[in-house]
Amino acid sequence: MKITDIEVFVLGDPKPDQPVDMSRIDGLAFVRIHTDEGITGLSEIFAVPPGVARAVLDGPTSLFGRLLIGEDPIHPERLWQKLYNSMLHGNRHGWAIICMGAVDVALWDIFGKSVGRPVYELLGGSTRSNHQITDEAQRHTVTPYCTIVSDRWDRESVLHEQVERVVRLRELGYRAFKIEPLNQPDETIIELTRRTRAAIGKDNILCVDVGYLWNDVGSAARVINQLAEFDILFFETPLPVDAVAAYGSLTRQTSVPIAMGEHTTTRWEFLEMIEQGGIQVVQPYMTTCGGLTEAKRIVEMARAHGVLVCPGNWSTAALGMATIHLAAYSPITPIFESAPAAVYWSPLRKALEELAAPVVNGVVHFPTSPGIGLDLPEELIRHFLVAPSL
């Protein structure tokens, strides 16, 4: 089998007639890899400007296209190393790694389709130890946590809208939630956490994310320690994304697990945050971190350090399907992030979620379809296609 072409296309929501929530997608790039046997592989490319994605991936003259076209797509790890080595004297982080991560996901999709197996089985299968199973369902399901944001960011809107969305999703059967009191004073963060715990009860998972709110460790520790009574699984991104020493100081001052990693690329950046920052929950995005190949390495590294991997995904079910395969493989992934379309406006998110593995009673069963398990109908692509000028 040989790679014959790589194409990039961009999908987005229609322009709304009135203000909408943060779920709207202006332009999300996708990559599709073609082979001479008619098998294709697909991935979204989260958080990379479409023009950059085209320059790196679209066609035989693109940065990576010239290295991939004509190659045997199997094995993805071999091609991951080829692309990474090509950047040793260039940009080994940022957008280039995210584009490489999208290629890697698409290659795993091709690999799975070519042998008729779901990708998680090719990663190593479910690796949960029998003596660590507390519920028989853990052998064949994974659990999404719902990220909750507000439409408006005044105190009353944050308290009302986020709890209301949590309650609606709880009624739909979801079992894990992450609230986001962004840009809020301390008392609002504490009150939203209190109200949400009361709304979901003691048996459901609760996490909190403040989106890099504080610059000083003292402020962060003071608030986070007050939240310990609400039994939160993790507190996400309290400090600036690259403040390794500050994270190290904070994690020594609180018993609440601190999480980060949505913008982190490659295992090396995660290793620094684990060893020097004391991070106890890492959150790789399947394309941002460098693809499923690198995500698997991050799981093994985190496992050796006694750290949880709770993959992030404030994007669509296309990225979510890749995330499910890592969660099915990983023995240290109790939950993975999702932005359920049921409580958000975006028509594109809704359309993609309908194609993905369903959430039933708060869990997702391991995929059974070959590859990643999500292909886009041409009708959907035409409906949401964004002009190349963007």
End-to-end CA distance of the chain: 33
Residue 369 and residue 118 in contact, taking contact as beta carbons nearer than 8 Å:
yes
Give me the helix-helix angle, 186-200 and 155-171, nearest 10°: 20
- The predicted-structure confidence for 278-292, as pLDDT tens digits, reads as follows 999 999 999 999 999
Which percentage of the chain shows pLDDT scores above 90? 92
What confidence score (pLDDT) does residue 134 get?
80
Residue 366 and residue 126 in contact, taking contact as beta carbons nearer than 8 Å:
yes
Residue 27 in this model has a pLDDT that exceeds 90: yes
Give the torsion sign (CA, 272, 260, 205, 201): positive
Average pLDDT over residues 152-181: 97
Which percentage of the chain shows pLDDT scores above 70? 99
- From residue 354, alpha-carbon distances to 129, 210, 342, 343, 347 in Å are 32, 30, 11, 14, 11
Give the alpha-carbon dihedral of 181, 182, 184, 190, to 10 degrees.
Answer: 30
Which is higher by pLDDT, 244 or 91?
244
Please tell me the CATH code under which domain 123-365 is placed.
3.20.20.120
**Element holding 249 (H helix, E strand):** helix 244-251
- The predicted-structure confidence for 213-228, as pLDDT tens digits, reads as follows 999 999 999 999 999 9
What confidence score (pLDDT) does residue 292 get?
98
Which is higher by pLDDT, 127 or 259?
259
136 falls in which pLDDT band (50, 70, 90)? confident
Residue corresponding to tokens 């280039």: 96
304 falls in which pLDDT band (50, 70, 90)? very high
- The predicted-structure confidence for 346-356, as pLDDT tens digits, reads as follows 999 999 999 99
Which residue type, as a one-letter code, is found at position 257?
A: P
Average pLDDT over residues 302-330: 98
What distance in Å separates the CA atoms of residue 39 and residue 29, rounded to the nearest whole number?
Answer: 20
What confidence score (pLDDT) does residue 130 get?
79
The whole model's pTM is what? 0.96
Residue 347 and residue 23 in contact, taking contact as beta carbons nearer than 8 Å:
no
- The predicted-structure confidence for 68-111, as pLDDT tens digits, reads as follows 999 999 999 999 999 999 988 877 788 999 999 999 999 999 99
Average pLDDT over residues 315-325: 98
Per DSSP, the three-state class of 201 is: coil
Beta bridge partners of 282: 260, 309
All structural domains of the chain with their residue ranges: 3-116+376-384, 123-365
Share the mean pLDDT of the chain.
96
Cis peptide before 383 (omega within 30 of 0): no
Residue 390 in this model has a pLDDT that exceeds 60: no
Average pLDDT over residues 164-181: 98
Average pLDDT over residues 242-265: 97
CB neighbourhood size of 72 (10 A) = 11
Average pLDDT over residues 311-327: 98
Class of the 3-116+376-384 domain?
alpha beta
H-only helix segments in 86-125 = 95-115, 119-123
Which residue type, as a one-letter code, is found at position 347?
A: P
Alpha-carbon 67 to chain mean position: 27
Starting at the edge strand found earlier in the chain, the sheet holding 28-35 runs 3-11, 28-35, 40-45
Alpha-carbon 44 to chain mean position: 11
What confidence score (pLDDT) does residue 90 get?
76
Residue corresponding to tokens 């395969």: 325
Average pLDDT over residues 256-284: 97
- The predicted-structure confidence for 144-155, as pLDDT tens digits, reads as follows 999 999 999 999
What confidence score (pLDDT) does residue 389 get?
62
Per DSSP, the three-state class of 300 is: helix
Which is higher by pLDDT, 389 or 113?
113
What confidence score (pLDDT) does residue 128 get?
82
